[in-house]
Amino acid sequence: MEDIYAKFVSQKISKTRWRPVPPGSLQTADTFAAGSWDNEENYVSLWSIGDFGNLDSDGGFEGDHQLLCDIRHHGDVMDLQFFDQERIVAASSTGCVTVFLHHPNNQTLSVSQQWTAAHYHTGPGSPSCGSAPCTGIVCSNPEIVTVGEDGRINLFRADHKEAVRTIDNADSSTLHAVTFLRTPEILTVNSIGQLKIWDFRKQGNEPSQILSLTGDRVPLHCVDRHPNQQHVVATGGQDGMLSIWDVRQGTMPVSLLKAHEAEMWEVHFHPSNPDHLFTCSEDGSLWHWDASTDVPEKSSLFNQGGRNSTFLSHSISNQASVHQSLISSWLSTDPAKDRIEITSLLPSRTLSVNSLDVLGPCLVCGTDSEAIYVTRQLFS
């Protein structure tokens, strides 16, 4: 992989997301959104990655990401998702959910829609206006699903003032992240190590399925669904472990892979090449996991600038009985026998890597060291 370029942006970056390329388009990702946190003033910003490799004053390469526009954001940006080419949805630590509209003609962002009290604490001991952070959002036009520290799930529709559906006491603990399984079904992860599947076609406040790691109750922070096989899900949590789940069978993960030394903040399958998976962590690392089966005799060593450390894992259940060709490489891989190659993508450890996104050959990530890193040659 070619160098990964850093741009210092003078604010801690909590979220980075590529703008989707139009369906059927051959262009590669060229614009991303970023959100900040823990700054005196926080912003949602839009960046163009331009041509790469400008020499900076020290003779080194600096990323040529250009700021297109930004807009003030009240509270920390807790999550950020593109709704479509022009609209970006932001989740705030104030409990507010905002849809920003990009105007390419004059390169500005404006507030197009806002649900100010999407998430809030109620009940004894909570202040009458006790806002609760909105921790996660997922979009599938025209729908926006939000989850929060209040254990509430909201289903919004663009251009509707009120929530279409709210599950008030969906969880007694904090919901940290959400993803769609199929359009009426979502999957949430919470602060006591549970995955819950919810079906919006059903009335009531009960999940249709609960999966969890037995015993540990380690908080889960992130989840992503395999782009082609909706029953395959990856999660990461406070202990830095990567867990792969098959929601069709059992209530426990198919495999647990020892990963980062601190919290895993995000996990993403590559959207068009899902044998590749990416994770980032509080420990300052950004990893590329390669489970593709076409690599002959891969070593199970961890590649980091020529240094190797052993890769530890164990698989909980043996999947051999299922027809191999129909199965995701993430399910058929018994990592102790087969090999997963892990590559560290950042040149050196930094402060927390809070967010990453991958699209085609491009990767972007945001850090607490006030830098945004971009590469556009992931697989070269």
Domain ranges for the chain, please list them. Answer: 5-292+335-375
Cross-strand pairs, 362: 359
Q: What token pair was written down for 260?
A: 């980062």
Q: pTM higher than 0.95 for the full model?
A: no
pLDDT score recorded for residue 128: 55
pLDDT score recorded for residue 296: 46
Q: Which of 211, 177, 192 is nearest to 317 (CA)?
A: 211
pLDDT score recorded for residue 327: 58
CA–CA distance, 148 with 135 (Å, rounded to integer): 5
Q: Is 282 left (phi over 0), alpha (psi -120 to 50) or beta?
A: alpha
Architecture of domain 5-292+335-375: 7 Propeller (2.130)
Peptide bond into 142 cis (omega under 30): yes
Q: What token pair was written down for 76?
A: 């920390």
CA–CA distance, 20 with 18 (Å, rounded to integer): 6
Please classify residue 236 by burial: count the beta carbons closer than 10 Å to its beta carbon, then call 0-12 exposed, 13-18 middle and 19+ buried: buried
pLDDT score recorded for residue 352: 97
pLDDT score recorded for residue 22: 87
Decide if 165 contacts 208 (C-beta within 8 A). no
Angle at Cα 302 formed by Cα 298 and Cα 306, nearest 5°?
A: 100
CA–CA distance, 97 with 137 (Å, rounded to integer): 9
How confident is the prediction along the chain (380 residues), in pLDDT tens digits per residue?
A: 557 889 999 999 999 999 999 888 888 899 999 999 999 999 999 999 875 444 444 444 455 789 999 999 999 999 999 999 999 999 999 999 999 999 999 999 999 999 999 999 987 665 556 899 999 999 999 999 999 999 999 999 998 999 999 999 899 999 999 999 988 899 999 999 999 999 999 988 999 999 998 777 899 999 999 999 999 999 999 999 999 999 998 788 988 999 999 999 999 999 999 999 999 999 999 999 999 865 444 443 344 333 333 343 433 333 333 334 345 788 875 555 457 899 999 988 889 999 999 999 999 999 999 999 999 889 87
Torsions phi, psi of 328, nearest 5? Answer: -65, 145
Q: What token pair was written down for 317?
A: 């259940």
**End-to-end Cα distance, the chain:** 5
